[in-house]
Structure 1
């Protein structure tokens, strides 16, 4: 989402890559695109929304507050939508994120949590438990990693979606792959080893790379890692997970709002025109796929609270 950002395409501060600003007089593109995402997800019938980090561009209280107002348009935080931190959300005062999204963790720990929703377990990870500028590898920290392993050992067969900002691995990138693009290597191996012993886990959702990319984890082939393109720029959308008793489908949708489409086309020029080759996905299966998995134990959720919230407004 990157609320507060004013120029798209400053990829890791690389020289010679000129960014793309919004046209004068138009709404800031992170706000515009985030609102369009919420509306489109609601229109497509999404029951839950997972916001996988970098909610803001720098952790400023104003930007996180605006992000909260936008996401509240989908429903109730901690019930209809869930949020984790990315490296951009770690301001000098780390309390700003929890001020904007209080009650994030319950009794689990700072920045990470597990929730059971109709038999489907959602695990949210904080993948940058450190200070830094985000150029280094992501890290969970020993407490969070031990907590995560323990949760999977408790109920290894429960259908589980894990989401966090940094991917476990980055493959087949148009741009050079640096250590800052994924989780620290040893911790990533530990996570995958935990997946290998937990047949219920079927999806690891990540952002950070701003691209659509489907990767089957070789050491845990029942788990798909799905990197999802950023909402704020081309292609300007989200990935919808549909769960059935015998498996699941992942489909990427662009926001249909006209102003969002206009900005999406404008931001195609990011990275000297290479951005579509990176962000959209190098093949159709990077953004649209179907996989078999036993999800017969997952039950439908009750009606969303967001319908009540809209009526109150």
Structure 2
């Protein structure tokens, strides 16, 4: 009898608890209002962010009359590709474009190596003179030698009209250095201690332990440096005298100035006028397009890389 009752009690305990009068929780009126307003605000922000770029693309394919009269907004008016033809038919454009790719790739690689090494060293609190190195690095964020001393230095080093005039002076960004330093400081010390016990040297720990765990911040720094070198034009304009060594940004800058001069002088032909009308839009599209194509591949690392390097754990 007792066994039967215990069995029945056990069956009741193990049975699913009966759900009676189950109802779905509904969002409150305030929360529903918040969600609607939030969606509307996000759409407005997205539109405000995208509108300038869409407008530039539309202008790059529009004709002179519609651009000058301000009738181009979100789509081209009087479809025109003369400027694209003029720019892309020039062999010097492709030469300078190739130069930009080379300068960007080489500069980004060198900058990543130097920034990573320096940041990893500064992240070690037992480093002798650590505070002095940090002070020197931060000092350069606010003070520099000036334009003329930099030009004299680059010329004296023999860097003029070479790749190194663009790459070496911009090899380390102090902002990027501080972000990577903070990222390395937040990594667990136990990982490096275990690596040292296993016999790894400092460089072995860096390359086999630290860097594989730093993909997010490395991808973020790659984007920062690549954009910086890609958009750079003043260093090449200052230190290079040969057209075949210019990056594409200097080429497009000279093209804009030439079109503006031809228009201001007067008597320009119809083709020159059409080119001058939307040359700025075309140059912006051609310059920013490669970076836009690169960004989606490293976007997933971008936010996490910045946050992990900037927030103290």
Does the TM-score normalized on the shorter chain lie above 0.5? Answer: no
Q: TM-score, normalised to structure 1's length?
A: 0.20
Q: If you compute each CA radius of gyration, which structure gives the higher value, 1 or 2?
A: 2
Task: Give TM-score, length-normalised by structure 2.
Answer: 0.20
Which structure is higher in helix share? 2
